[in-house]
Amino acid sequence: MSPRPPARPSIAGIVDIAPILIGVVPFGIIAGIAAVEAGLGTFQAYAVSPLVFAGAAQLAMTDLISRDAAAIVVVATALVINSRFAMYSASLAPTFGRVGAMRKAVAAYLLTDQAFAVSVVRFDRVDEPISARYAYYLGAGMALWVTWLVSSAVGVVVGAGVPAEWSLDFAIPLVFIALLFAAVNDRGTGIAAVAGFVAAVAFAGLPLNLGLLVASGVGIAAGVVGQRR
Amino acid sequence: MTTHSTATIWLLIGVTAAGTWLIRISFIALLGRVSVFPDLAMRVLRMIPAAVLAALIGPSLTQAEGAFDLGTERFLAGLLAGLVAWRTRNVLATIGVGMGGLWLLQAVG
């Protein structure tokens, strides 16, 4: 068996992220439908995906908007969910801190759970120059970007035609359930999840949907403390 | 359906988009100026997805019809979906079983 010539890094990025994209498609469709059902205008429902480009935050946002949560709570919740990107940003900084400003801006825009996950594995296993690493990341990031925009646009198109009896709004907590079990991977995150769940139920009566943010804080604190034991 | 105006929703989308991008570029832009990521900050950030997602799920399952009730179709279907998510870690299977379970319970009830 002769060794195959190594694929271009950008192609390798697309190939590596491809299996993950299958799970992104239903998530994107649901995000599109949810945006329309929440009462966003059609153009807004399309625009939110390329502008925010973060699935869980988009779903939480539209969910809160549909329940008329206070504006500050909508934004704060979305940003708290997206604060995990700071962790990825720190992890990628040694690599992307050395590329040009424009490339940094693009890399930041394309930073997602999925692109980060495949890239850290690649950077750890393959010793290649920063330009190759950037190309790999761009391949993975762009593949996810196209998938997210197309699938959420499909959701916006079908969204208006979905009958209420289908209870498709229930797909939002279902997506969160699927994401939750992927996020719980040790004692601390398990404690954070249980504490966050219980606190959210207890504080659900707080005005302006503030219970969500309070409960998130309780869960985070419980997880940090529980992790140390 | 929301009662927020179109302009307000644009503002919400715009501020969230800008804030999210700033979070994403934070340490990539700061490299050289900030040398180490504080350990406590790292531990806090690691807990955020689990805590926030669980907090989002809680009321939508236990208070599906307003008051606290563990006998609703949505709570039972959500429990079933949680079991599938735990065993398979599969997004499609979780959504499929959860929606299928809800429709079945609605048809029976």
Complex ipTM: 0.88
- Asked if the model's pLDDT at residue B72 lies above 80, the reply is yes
- Asked if the model's pLDDT at residue B15 lies above 80, the reply is yes
Contact A174 B20 (CB under 8 A): no
| Mean pLDDT value across residues B3-31 | 94
Instruction: Look at B45 and B103; give whichever has higher pLDDT.
Output: B103
Question: DSSP character for A168?
Answer: G
pLDDT of residue B103: 96
Contact B95 A171 (CB under 8 A): yes
pTM of the model: 0.84
> B20 touching A, CB under 8 A?
yes
From first CA to last CA, the distance across chain A in angstroms is: 51
- Asked if the model's pLDDT at residue B36 lies above 70, the reply is no
Closest of A51, A39, B66 to residue B75, by C-alpha: B66
Contact A200 B6 (CB under 8 A): no
Cβ count within 10 A of residue A166: 14
- Candidate from A78, A80, A173 with C-beta closest to B57: A173
Contact B23 A82 (CB under 8 A): yes
Contact A104 B6 (CB under 8 A): no
> B109 touching A, CB under 8 A?
no
- Candidate from B1, B28, B52 with C-beta closest to A96: B28
Nearest-Cα residue of chain A relative to residue B74: A170
Tell me the pLDDT of chain A (229 aa) as tens digits.
Answer: 555 656 799 999 999 998 888 888 888 999 999 999 999 999 999 999 999 999 999 999 999 999 899 999 999 999 999 988 988 898 888 889 889 999 999 999 999 988 998 898 899 889 999 999 999 999 999 999 999 999 999 999 998 788 878 888 898 899 889 889 988 999 999 999 999 999 999 999 887 778 888 999 999 999 999 987 6
Backbone φ, ψ for residue A112 (5° rounding)? -135, 170
pLDDT of residue B34: 59
- With beta carbons under 8 A apart, name residues in chain B contacting A183: 49-50, 53
Token digits for A202?
Answer: 């207890």
CA distances from B68 to A26, A124, B71, B86, B106 (A): 30, 47, 9, 24, 19
- Candidate from B20, B54, B95 with C-beta closest to A180: B54
Contact A93 B27 (CB under 8 A): yes
Amino acid letter, B102: L
Nearest-Cα residue of chain B relative to residue A70: B4
Let me know: does B23 contact A86? Beta carbons within 8 Å.
Answer: yes
